[in-house]
Amino acid sequence: MNMNNTYTNAEEIKKLNFETIPIDEFWNVGNEKELKMHRIHSYPAKFPAFITTKAIGYAKNVGVQPLWIADFFCGCGTVALEAKRNGINFWGSDINPVATMIARTKSLKYNDKLLNDFFIKIRIQFKRTKKAGLYKCIKDERINYWFKKGQIGDLYRLKNAIKEVTPSSSKYRIFFLCAFSNILKPASKWLAKSIKPQIDPNKKIVRVWKLFEKQFIVMQTANKELNIENHSKTIITTRNALNIEKIEFKPEMIITSPPYVTSYEYADLHQLSTLWLDYAKDYRKLRSRTIGSVRHKVTLEEEKKHLNLIGLEIVEKLNMADKSKAKLVARYYNDMQQIAKKSYKILKTEGLSVYVIGNTEYKKVRIDNAKHLATSLIDAGFENVYITKRKITNKILTPYRDENGCFTTDKTIRKIYNEEFIIIGRKK
């Protein structure tokens, strides 16, 4: 671990060329095999679990002993589960209800006999419910767009069976609804492993119950593998990080990975679960509340007034290429400046804020999220900001973007997400 990449003021960071920062092998590979529980549900852009353990090791090396870890963008609960493994209390939030459902599922331990009993009862209830007419209850045009009629009927029966069998608000209902959520794409016409919503006209449709049974076995096996005997607490809330003013304790660490400007694409990628689990009547509404979305009638000029110098420089360049994207990035940078301030506010004195973030590009304008964030941490009051870089090896989302900044599989396009930055601020 290279401890020399530490900066104390915004001017030093402004002069730094982030592309020349060497890859730090310490953050590239883990020493342990990742738990199966981390893979019970597909999730885009999930960073490797070992980064949490590395961050905890870094903290201890600089004299911070974390009792609580917080995560403003907890996603599917990677940090939550790793904190629990290490016997550390965790508090996390995410605006995406699909993400927090997965995170809660992963953070809990289940009685294997009860899992089997519930599974058998769900199967019995599923089989005794008649198909006839059930699919008529599903009138949502998006569901009818993505699913064949028979699959809609079977999914409706399965969801009802889960709710009939499992106790309301119990962790076992969350477990089986999480299993249900992860079979929605393979049960639909959605193109497998697609980075954007699109239909596969040649897709072979697999029967719903077969998918659910296979998913149950995966999750049951993952639960058996967990060997966590400590009594650490895990608190996960579905909230917009921008609306969080305080939490009930002062964490010694924040470990988080914010969205890279285009967080609305998460709403698109999770639309099937959002619709089937009744999280929103229109999944597109989730876009309007995400970090960086243009939620109100503020002009670009007004947004620019609040940007730090790095953010302003990037937005000015982008404005010459695409005014609408410039406003989006300006909104995102203003949001992230607020997040940096919230990080400083909730941390204990001497605490660490660990961010994992990558850069991107719109119309050949480099969107230097890492430099902007590092500057934002300095502006928020953090001292000794440590900056390093790692290679991305296993994220689901493609690292390629077209000239408009959209995901693409075209490997002739510049590879944007092939590396990301670890940025750590210390509160004095």
What is the percent of the chain with per-residue pLDDT over 90, rounded to a whole number?
Answer: 66
Structure-token pair, residue 326 = 């410039």
Instruction: Please tell me the distance from the alpha carbon of residue 92 to that of residue 69, in angstroms, as a whole number.
Output: 8
Token code pair at residue 293: 């979305």
Which positions ≥6 away from 176 have C-beta within 8 Å?
Answer: 118, 119, 122, 162, 166, 216
| pLDDT score, position 298 | 80
302: Cβ–Cβ under 8 A, 6 or more apart, which residues? none
Contact 138, 156 (CB under 8 A): yes
Mean pLDDT over the full length of the chain? 88
Mean pLDDT of 399-419: 56
- pLDDT score of 324 more than 90: no
Q: Is residue 73 pLDDT above 80, yes or no?
A: yes
> Is the dihedral angle over the CA atoms 50, 51, 57, 60 positive or is it negative?
negative
Helices (H), 107-198: 112-128, 141-146, 149-165, 171-182, 184-187
Instruction: Between 141 and 80, name the one with better pLDDT.
Output: 80
Q: Which of 294, 253, 232 is nearest to 54 (CA)?
A: 253
Of 77-86, 196-205, 307-316, least confident by mean pLDDT is 196-205
Please tell me the number of Cα atoms within 13 Å of 383 on its side-chain side. 5
> Largest Cα–Cα distance in the chain?
69
Interaxial angle between packed helices 208-225 and 149-165, expressed in degrees from 0 to 180 and rounded to the nearest 10? 40
pLDDT value at residue 267: 73
**What average pLDDT does this structure show over 37-47?**
90
- As given in the structure block, the two tokens for residue 179 are 């299993």
- In this structure, are residues 354 and 424 in contact, taking their beta carbons and an 8 Å threshold? yes
The whole-number pLDDT of residue 47 equals: 83
pLDDT of 382 over the 60 cut: yes
Query: Which pLDDT tens digit goes with each residue over 341-376?
Result: 999 999 999 999 999 999 988 888 889 999 999 999
Supply φ then ψ for residue 199, to 5 degrees.
Answer: -85, 140
Sign of the torsion formed by the C-alpha atoms of 200, 203, 209 and 211: negative
Q: What is the DSSP letter of 335?
A: H
Dist. CA 296–CA 312, nearest whole Å: 20
256 SS3 class: strand
Q: At what angle do helices 78-85 and 50-61 cross, to 10 degrees?
A: 60
Q: Helices marked H in 230-380 — which ranges?
A: 264-269, 271-276, 300-304, 309-321, 323-346, 369-380
For residues 346 and 251, the answer to whether their CB atoms sit within 8 Å is: yes
Q: What are the tens digits of pLDDT across the range 127-137?
A: 998 764 555 55
pLDDT surpasses 50 at 396 = no
Q: Domains along the chain?
A: 6-109+227-426 (3.40.50.150), 112-225 (no CATH)
